Structure 1
Amino acid sequence: MDTYRKFKDTNNNNILHLAGKLTPPHILGRSTGAALQLQRELQWFQEVKKLMLPDQLVQVNRDSLTPAMVFTNEHRDLLKEGEEWMKTTSQTFSIVAALIVTIVFAAAITVPGGNNQKSGMPLFKKKTLFDIFAVSNAISLFSGISALLVFLSILTTRFAEMDFLKSLPRRLILGLLALFLSTASMVLTFSAILFLVFYDQRHWMLAILGLSCVPIAVIVTLQFPLLVDLCKSTSIPIFGKQEYIASGKFISKHPTSYLSETRTTRPPDSAN
C-alpha cells in the first residue's frame, strides 16, 4: 500500500489526483442519469482518499492543484448536468404528486353514496369497502403530500458536489417511495368506490376493476428501475469488502485505467 501512496507521475500527481480525473463517457454511461454518474465519481474519489495520508490530501501537482481541486475542475460540467437532471426529475415528480394530492383530497370531501339526511353519516359507513376507501384515501393523501415536500426540498437545495454523494440520492429515493405508495393507494381508493357503488347493479364491473392494475404496472415498468438504481448506487459499497480495498489490488482494476495510462515511473519495489 505504501508503494501506491508514494506513486507520482511526471506531473507530480499522486493517486488521489488521478482518481479525481473524469471517467471516460463509455464508463459513465453505465449509471442512470448525470446525478448518479457524479455520485459514482465521488464514491471512487472518497474510497481512494481513505487510503491516503493526511498530508497527501493537500499535496499539489505541477499546476499547483490539490486532489480536491482536480476533482472539481474535471467534474464541473458533470456537476451542472447532474443539477439539471435532478431538478428536471424532481419537477416532473412534483407535478405528479400535486395532481394525486388534488384528486384524493377531492375524494375525501366527496363521500361515495352520499350521507344520511337525518344523522349526516355516510350511507356506506358500515361496509368494509367504505373502510378500505377511507384508509387508502388517507394513505394516498399523506404520502402524496410527503412526496411533494421531499421533491420541493430537492429543488431548493444548493447542489454542492458532496450533496450528490448521499443527501440528494436519499431524498430522491424517499420521494419516489412516497410517490409509489400514494399512486397505489389512489388506485385502490378508486377501485373501492367503483366496487362499492356499482357492483350490486353491474357485476361486470369486477372486470373493469382489473384495469386498475395497469397504472401500477406502468409505474413498475418505467420508474421502478430508477428507484432500484438509486438504491444500489447509494447503499451498496462500490468496491466491496474493506479488506480487499486495503490490499491495494483494486487500484489496478479502476475502469478508467488512469494509473496504467499515466504511469511513467515504476514503483520503487518493481524498479530494477
Structure 2
Amino acid sequence: MANYQTTDVNDDFTLRTKLNRALSHTKNEDIETRRKKNEDVKKLCKETELGPLFVCNIQNNTVLHLACYFKNFELANDLLDSMPESSLDLLLVKRNAWGSTVLHDASTSKHELGVVFLKKLFHRVPTLLAQRTNMGETALFQAIRYGKRNVYKLLIEEVRKLCNIYTGHDYLHYLRREDHTNVLHLAILTRRFDMALDIADKYPDLCDQPTYLKTTALQMLAGSPTAFRSGVTFGCLVDFGYNIVPTSEQGTHGEVGIIKKCMGFMLNRSCCKFPMIEKVREMKKGHEDALELAKILIRRDKSWEHTQLPRAAVTPATNIQNNVNNEIASQTIVISDDHRWGETPLLLAARSGCIEVVREILEMYPEAVDHLNENQENVLHVAIMNRNIDIFDLIRETRPSTSRGLLRAINKQDNSILHLVGCKPANLGEFSDYREMKSPAVQLSEELTLLEKLENICPEFLKNHRNRDNLTARELFAKANNDLHDRAKTWLKSTAENCTVVIILMTTVAFAAAYTVPGGPDDRTGLPILLGQPLFIVFTITDVLSLGFGLTAVVVFLTILTSPYRMKDFQRSLPQKLLLGFTLLFLSVSMMMVAFAATIVLTINARQRWTKITLYIVAIFPVLIFMLSYIPFYKELIGALSYWLKKIHSSLPRISCRAPKHTDPTLSKSV
C-alpha cells in the first residue's frame, strides 16, 4: 500500500514538472514552438482526472490558472472547451493560495483572446463573477488594479446584467470588499481616473461611502497631489508639450495661444506617434479626468460637513498667566462627535497642495472655509504648516473678508498662524516627500521671508502672542530652526570657499592671457602681431572684464566668509551677497568664453597649427559644464529673493501725470 502511494506521488511530481516546463515560454519563442508546447499540455491534462484543473505548484495554481497567468489564452480557450459540463462547478472551488479563481487571473490581461475567454467563462459559469479572493475582492477589482479598461467594461456590464436578472443580488457584493473599500476607492488609489469617472456615473451611491477607516473617495483624491497638474513638476520641454498636446480629437481648448493651438492640431492629425508625446498626453488626460472626478465627488460627497466645533474665544496671551488661564478654559471645550471622520477634504487638499480641489470646494461650498481639524486648525493654518503658499494666497484673494478671521485664529496649543511657520514641513508626514529639496541657506531665507510676510498681514497683537510654551512666534522660529541655521552656515561657508578657489584660478588664467596674446609679439617692435584686428580688441576687452569681474567676485565671497552669520542675515544680506557673487562669477566665465572664442578665430585667421586650436576648443567645455551646473541653483536663489524684488518694486516712486493740487497759503498758515 505504501509503495502504491509513493508511486502516485512520484507520478504527480513528474506530471507537474512536465506541465510547468510546457507552460513556461521564453520572450522570443516562435509560434510553432508555442503550439507544440500547447499540444503537450493538452495531452498531459488527459492523463489526470482533474484535467485543466490539476494543481501544478505550491501556490495551488491549476493548469488553467497558469495558462491565464502566462497570457496563453489560445491554450486557455482550448482547455475550457475540453472541460465537460459536469466539471464546470469545480471552477468555483479551485482557487490558488490567494483565493483567486481562474476568472481573477484572466482579468489581469487585456489580450483579445483573453476577452473571448472571459465571455466563455461567463456563459458557462455565470456565478463565477461573484466569487471573492481572500481579501474579499471580485474579478472586477483585479481589472481596475491592473488598469485593463476593456476587461473592466466587460465585467461592469456583466455585473449590471446579473443584478437585473437576479433581483436578489446586491451590486455591492461585486463592488465592495468586506472592509468597505469599494471599486471607486481602488480606482482612485491606482490612478485609474477614467474608470473612476465611469463608476461614479453608474453607481453614484459609492461616492460618499467611506472605508472602515472612515475615508471617502473625495478625501482620498484630496490627499493625492500628483493626481493634478499642480502636484507635478515638469522640465521646460515637457511643460511646453503638456500645454500644446490635445487630449481629444477636437484639439487643444482653453486659454492657449494660436501657435500652440496650431501645433496641437498638427500633433493630433499626424500619422507619427512619439512615445514622449503619447506619455504626456496620457498624463494630461489623467489630470483632466481627476479634476472632473473631483467636481462630481464634491457635489455628492458629504464628508466635508464633518468638522470640529470651534473653541471658545481665546484672548491672545502675552504672558504666562494668560497662558495658564487659556489652558484651564480649553479643558471645558466640547468637541464634535464627528472626529472619527478625520480632516475634511478641504483641509486634506490644503495639506497635500491640491489647489484644484480647494478651488472647487470653495466655489461649491463657501462655508467650508471655516472648518477645523482636531487640533483646531483652519485651512490657512494647514496651508502655512505645509508651505502651500499658493493655497494661502488663493483663499486670501477669493475670501478676503473671511480670511481676516482665519488669520486671528489659534489652535489647541495656543499657536497662532505666525507660530506655525516654525513647524518644519519635513516633520509633517508623507506630504513632505513631494517638496523639492533645496539648499539650507535658501530654505532658511524662504522661511524668514514667509514669517515676515505673515507679520505684515496678521494683526499687530499676534506678534507678541505667546503659546502654551510661553514662546512668541519669533522665539519658536529661532528654536525650531536652530539646526537649519547651523546647516545653512556650514553650507554657505563651504560654497563661498569653493567659489573663491575657482575664481582665483580663473583670474590667474585671465591675467596670464593678457601677457600671452594670440599671435605673439612682433620681434622687431614688441607689439602684438594681430593688434590691428577687430577681434583682438574684443579679446582684450573681454579678458580685462573677466579679470575685473573675477576679482570683484573674490571680494564679495570674502565678505560672506567674514560675516557673523546671524539668523536675520540669512533673510536679505547673505542671499543678496551670494547672488551678487554668482552673478559676477557667471559674467567672468562668460567674458572668458568670449575671449577664448576670439582667440580661436584669430588663430584660424593667422593659420596657426591646429593643435593649438584643438586645445582652445577643449578648454571651453569645462567652462560650459560649470555654467550649466550652477544655472539651476542660480534660478533657485533668484526665486528665494523674488519677494524682496517685488517689495523693492512696490517701494519705487511712481510718475504721476496729474498736476499737484494748489492749496491756499492762508489756510496752511492757520493750520
Question: TM-score, normalization: structure 2?
Answer: 0.33
2:440 corresponds in structure 1 to 34
- Structure showing greater relative contact order (alpha-carbon pairs closer than 8 Å, 6 or more residues apart): 1
| Counterpart residue identity of residue 418, structure 2 | L
| Counterpart residue identity of residue 225, structure 1 | P
CA distance in 2, matches of 1:136, 1:107: 11
What do the CA deviations read for 1:106-156 (whole angstroms, capped 9, x no partner)? 221334444445544322211122112111111110111111111111111
* Aligned residues of 1:21 and 1:74 also touching (Cα < 8 A): yes
1:80 corresponds in structure 2 to 486
CA distance in 1, matches of 2:410, 2:604: 76
CA distance in 2, matches of 1:160, 1:4: 32
Change in 2 beyond 3 A, CA 1:198/1:207: closer
Change in 2 beyond 3 A, CA 1:41/1:61: same
Change in 2 beyond 3 A, CA 1:236/1:64: closer
Q: CA deviation at 1:217?
A: 3.1
CA distance in 1, matches of 2:422, 2:636: 23
2:502 corresponds in structure 1 to 96
1:226 corresponds in structure 2 to 633
Q: CA deviation at 1:194?
A: 4.2
- How many residues are treated as equivalent by the alignment? 239
Could you tell me which runs of 5 or more consecutive residues in structure 1 were left unpaired when the two chains were aligned. Answer: 238-272
SS at match of 1:223: helix
| Counterpart residue identity of residue 550, structure 2 | G
In the TM superposition, 1:109-188 aligns within 5 A as 109-116=515-522, 119-188=525-594
Question: TM-score, normalization: structure 1?
Answer: 0.77
Change in 2 beyond 3 A, CA 1:202/1:118: closer
1:235 corresponds in structure 2 to 642
CA distance in 2, matches of 1:102, 1:32: 32
Moved over 6 A (4+): none
Change in 2 beyond 3 A, CA 1:101/1:210: closer
* Aligned residues of 2:410 and 2:416 also touching (Cα < 8 A): yes
Q: 1:24 aligns with which of 423, 426, 429?
A: 426
Change in 2 beyond 3 A, CA 1:162/1:31: farther
In the TM superposition, 1:195-210 aligns within 5 A as 195-197=601-603, 199-202=605-608, 208=614, 210=617
Q: CA deviation at 1:234?
A: 1.3
SS at match of 1:85: helix
* Aligned residues of 1:7 and 1:14 also touching (Cα < 8 A): yes
Tell which structure's C-alpha radius of gyration is larger.
2
CA distance in 2, matches of 1:88, 1:222: 17
Q: 2:471 aligns with which of 65, 73, 90?
A: 65
Q: 1:49 aligns with which of 438, 441, 455?
A: 455
Q: CA deviation at 1:215?
A: 3.0
* Aligned residues of 2:538 and 2:595 also touching (Cα < 8 A): yes
Q: 2:417 aligns with which of 2, 8, 15?
A: 15
Q: Percent identity?
A: 30
| Counterpart residue identity of residue 14, structure 1 | S
SS at match of 1:124: coil
Q: CA deviation at 1:172?
A: 1.5
Query: Which range moved further: 4-13 or 146-155?
Result: 4-13
SS at match of 2:424: coil
Q: CA deviation at 1:202?
A: 4.6
2:168 corresponds in structure 1 to none
SS at match of 1:14: coil
CA distance in 1, matches of 2:604, 2:457: 67
Change in 2 beyond 3 A, CA 1:78/1:16: same
Change in 2 beyond 3 A, CA 1:181/1:63: same
